Structure 1
Amino acid sequence: MVYYQKMTPEGYKQIEDEIARLKKDRPRRIKILQQARALGDLSENTEYTEAKHDLGHLQSRLRYLDKQLKYAEVIEQKNDGKVNMGTTVVLKFDDDNETEEYKVVGRMEADLAAGKVSFDSPLGQAIMKQEAGVTVTVEAPAGSYQVTIISVK
Structure 2
Amino acid sequence: MVYYQKMTPTGYQKIEEEIARLKKDRPRRIKILQEARSLGDLSENTEYTEAKRDLGHLQSRLRYLEKQLKYAEVIEKNDDGKVDLGKTVTLRFDDDEETEKYQIVGRMEADIAEGKISFDSPLGQAINKKEAGAVVNVAAPAGEYQVTILAVE
**Smaller-chain TM-score range?**
over 0.9
Shift of 1:78: 1.1
Unaligned 5+ residue runs, structure 2? none
The residue aligned with 1:140 is 140
The percentage of aligned residue pairs carrying the same residue is 78
The residue aligned with 2:39 is 39
How much is the aligned-residue C-alpha RMSD, in angstroms?
0.6
TM-score by length of 2: 0.98
For 2:71 and 2:46, how far apart are their aligned partners in 1? 38
State the AA in 1 paired with 2:82: K
Residue-pair matches, total: 153
Shift of 1:43: 0.6
The residue aligned with 1:116 is 116
| Residue-by-residue CA offset, 1:103-129 (whole Å, 9 max, x unaligned) | 001111111111111111110011111
Shift of 1:64: 0.3
Structure 1 stretches of 4+ with a deviation exceeding 6 A read none
For 1:37 and 1:31, how far apart are their aligned partners in 2? 10
Shift of 1:29: 0.4
TM-score by length of 1: 0.98
Unaligned 5+ residue runs, structure 1? none
Q: Is 2:34 the partner of 1:27?
A: no
For 1:24 and 1:90, how far apart are their aligned partners in 2? 39
The residue aligned with 2:149 is 149
Q: Is 2:76 the partner of 1:76?
A: yes
The residue aligned with 1:5 is 5
For 1:17 and 1:99, how far apart are their aligned partners in 2? 33
SS in 2 for 1:27: helix
Equivalent residues in 2 for 1:89-128, closer than 5 Å: 89-128=89-128
